[in-house]
Every structure is written in C-alpha cells, then in structure tokens.
Amino acid sequence: MKLLNKTISEISKFLLLFNLILIPVSGFSQTSDRFLLKIVDKTISLRDIEFQLRNFKALHCAYPSSIINDYFGTKFIQDWKKFLKDMPKDSKDVSLYMHTKDDFLKSLRLYFKLLRYSYDQRGEVSRELTSLMSESMISQKCSKDVFYKSRLKTNFLDLLKAELYLKSRYGNQLQDVRNASTVKDSIDLFMESLDKQFYHEYYR
C-alpha cells in the first residue's frame, strides 16, 4: 500500500511538472515565441521570422542590387519590422491581428516558399562568394548578427542560395535594363506557381 501511494505521488508530481511546462506554450502568454505559419512540413515560428528579417536586412545592406531585394523592395523591410513590433502578446489578439495583415503575410509566405524551393535545389554557395559577401558586409558596416565567429550563419547562406537561384534563372535577362519590367512579371508568375505548389497554413 505504501509503495502504491508513493507511486501515485510520483506520478502526480510528474503530471504537475508536465502541466507547468505546457501551460506557457499552449497559452503563449509567457513565451516570446509562437508558431505563426507552416510551409509544407516546416513550422515557422515568430523567432524564425525575426531571424529572417535580420538576414534580409543584411542582404539589403551588403548587396542592395540583389534580385531578392529588388523584387520584395525596401517597403517589405519596413512592413516586416512593423509586423513584429505590433505583434500582440495575447494569443486571441494575435488571431485578430493576423487577419488584418493579409497582404504582408502573402509576401512573407512567398519569401519563405522561395527559401524552401531554392533549398530543395541543393545549390551551393562558393567560398569565393561567401568571402566577397563577408567583405562587403564589413566594408558597408552591416550587422554582425549574421556571422558566427568569422563565418556567415547557415540560414543566411540559405538566403544567398535563393539569390543564386534567381540569378541563374533571370540574370542574363537583367543585364539589359529594358527587360526589368518583363522579368518582374516573370518572377511574379514564378512566385504564384510556388504559392500553389507548396502547401501553407497560418496558425491564427
């Protein structure tokens, strides 16, 4: 009987601890991170979105003429920053908030779908390009947050892979500025095809 009571007591303690761990996560009220979006099989959290804003800003700083920067535009950065700054803490308010941000969320999901697609292509970023990008960031005094010690972080390299993919696909056409609007239309069609190809859902 004593052994049974001891076992029940231990189970009760475990369940209490388990509930204490889960309550902040399920309620979102005591954590700075939360899931916002799912692309195919990858769940994207608020922290992931913050990291990618950091990456996009670094690319904008070091390589402002990149295809990705030209396509999404500087306004995308401002909208992204405001989206994060105004994000409510309460989960119920988050749901209402996200329903007012459809235009921005479409751009954001297209950005993440582009990352997913270029990652699936298994492209590589050469040492030479990595070195040039690092030198440009230093000379332009860009944020050091995309570096781990002296190396560029993996998720920033994933963004470079997306840029390389777009370069391989549209770079020759963009050598003539007269093709700019045509290329923009072509990228729009490509992005729309990605939007249809890759399943997504919002957690709102």
pLDDT at 8: 38
DSSP letters spanning 9-38: HHHHHHHHHHHHHHHHHHH-TT-S--EEEE
Using alpha carbons, select from 59, 75, 76, 80 the residue that is nearest to residue 162: 59
- Could you tell me if 189 and 31 are in contact, meaning their C-beta atoms sit under 8 angstroms apart? no
> Is this model's pTM higher than 0.85 or not?
no
Domain boundaries, the chain: 32-202
Q: For residues 194 and 200, what is the distance between their CA atoms, to the nearest angstrom? A: 11
Cβ-based burial of 136 (10 A; exposed 0-12, middle 13-18, buried ≥19): middle
Per-residue pLDDT of the chain (204 residues; tens, 9 = 90+): 544 444 434 434 433 333 333 333 333 233 458 999 999 999 999 999 999 999 999 999 999 999 999 999 999 999 999 999 999 988 889 999 999 999 999 999 999 999 999 999 988 999 999 999 999 999 999 999 999 988 999 999 999 999 999 999 998 888 888 888 899 999 999 999 999 999 999 998
Question: H or E element: which one contains 120?
Answer: helix 102-120
Q: Please state, in angstroms and as integers, the Cα–Cα distance from residue 64 to each residue in 67, 122, 161, following that order.
A: 9, 25, 16
User: In the chain, how long is the greatest CA-to-CA distance?
Assistant: 86
